[in-house]
Structure 1
Amino acid sequence: MIDSIEELERIRLACHKKVTRSSSLSAGAAIIPIPGVDIGSDVAILLRLIPQINEKFGLTPEQIEALDTESKIMVMTAISNVGSKMAGKYITRKLIVNLLQKMGFKIAAKGTSKFVPFIGSAVAGGISYTAMKYMGNKHIEDCYQIALEALEQRNFDAAEPIDVTPTPTDPPPRQD
């Protein structure tokens, strides 16, 4: 479980670096002028990347299941509040393909651009890089918000209650 905002920021930065590397791999696969190779590689990259991000933030199904009941409720509530489609879930090929289909216009443009000699491959690589970077960074920000919300709730619950009962040295309330 993440214990501080500083630790959360370090995790966020490390995950952004992973997304950048993965986006570069996706762009490299998109440059290959064989239809379908890029989509297959995007699915494979995301099947590896998303669970790694979930693990870093403590949001794999196994990590959530291992939490005590109160913490589990906090995390599941945070996931619901953020509306994440991939945090706390088993990442399957079907889930990734569905998410890629929602980005269909980018994928269609990427596939079509390959048929334009030379420049088309570069355009496909750029679209692929941008789409992968967007999906990865969006997931990081979702996970960050979930972990931050759970951390803040845990810190709030652990805070000492404030004693508001008057002490004998306190002046009596004014009667106006």
Structure 2
Amino acid sequence: MPSAIELARGDEKLITAIHRSRRLIGRKALMAAAASAVPLPGIDWAADAALLSRLVPQISAEFGLSVTQVEKLAPHQRERIQKAATTVGALLVGRLVTRELLIKLARHAGVKLTAKQAAKYVPIAGQIVSAALGYAALRALGEQHIKDCVRVSATLSLPPPGPHAPT
């Protein structure tokens, strides 16, 4: 499977957006790892959901595909984006992140998330494994969303917006 950089096909603006998005993922994944190390059941799931609900719109914004950015476009452009997202199988591009969408996204990382929960019950080593799996799961989900955004942008030849401070 090609990486996000390969999918960008040398487009410097897309590559820059990919790098900014990966920095966001790195910070959020560290937070997910810290939450996963806490030996209380359910804390990591709540933290993962909260982190993903913030991370996905931030990544989308890097590519000009957040809900607010898409809503500002003309109706025919919004329709093109939704069709392109459907065509490439992008689950979260240009959509509001809801509980149902997070559940679908979690199914993609289901094995890692289940192993993370099971590992918590082994003292110390289990918490380290749980933290590592929490980090890996959030990185994998974030990287998949980056690839989806790149595919949609490349399909429509949409240049991502310039650098900004996403919220």
The TM-score normalised by the length of structure 1 is 0.78
1:100 partnered with 2:69: no
* Paired residue type of 2:137: A
* Paired residue type of 2:122: V
1:24 — aligned with what? 30
| CA–CA separation in structure 2 for the residues paired with 1:79 and 1:101 | 19
* Paired residue type of 1:131: A
Structure 1, unmatched stretches of 5+, are: 153-176
Q: Is the Cα contact below 8 Å between 2:109 and 2:141 reproduced in 1?
A: no
User: What is the CA deviation profile of residues 68-91 of structure 1, one whole-angstrom value per residue up to 9, with x for unaligned ones?
Assistant: 344334322221221111001111
Seq. identity, %? 32
Equivalent residue in structure 2 for 1:8, among 14, 28, 32: 14
Structure 2, unmatched stretches of 5+, are: 1-9, 159-167
| CA–CA separation in structure 2 for the residues paired with 1:70 and 1:85 | 20
* Paired residue type of 1:5: D
Equivalent residue in structure 1 for 2:119, among 113, 122, 140: 113
2:154 — aligned with what? 148
| CA–CA separation in structure 1 for the residues paired with 2:122 and 2:131 | 13
1:58 partnered with 2:102: no
2:92 partner SS: coil
1:47 partner SS: helix
1:117 partner SS: coil
1:87 — aligned with what? 93
Deviation at 1:131, TM superposition (A): 0.6
| CA–CA separation in structure 1 for the residues paired with 2:43 and 2:77 | 42
* Paired residue type of 2:54: R
1:133 — aligned with what? 139
Give the total of aligned pairs. 149
Deviation at 1:102, TM superposition (A): 4.2
2:157 partner SS: helix
RMSD over aligned Cα atoms: 1.8
| CA–CA separation in structure 2 for the residues paired with 1:101 and 1:74 | 27
Question: Once superposed, which parts of structure 1, at least 4 consecutive aligned residues long, lie more than 4 Å away?
Answer: none
Equivalences for 1:66-77 in 2 at 5 Å? 66-77=72-83
| CA–CA separation in structure 1 for the residues paired with 2:151 and 2:108 | 22
The TM-score normalised by the length of structure 2 is 0.82
User: What is the CA deviation profile of residues 117-176 of structure 1, one whole-angstrom value per residue up to 9, with x for unaligned ones?
Assistant: 110000001111111100000000100111111117xxxxxxxxxxxxxxxxxxxxxxxx
| CA–CA separation in structure 2 for the residues paired with 1:105 and 1:117 | 21
2:40 — aligned with what? 34
| CA–CA separation in structure 1 for the residues paired with 2:140 and 2:24 | 13
Q: Is the Cα contact below 8 Å between 2:116 and 2:129 reproduced in 1?
A: yes
User: What is the CA deviation profile of residues 37-79 of structure 1, one whole-angstrom value per residue up to 9, with x for unaligned ones?
Assistant: 1111000000110011111211123322322344334322221
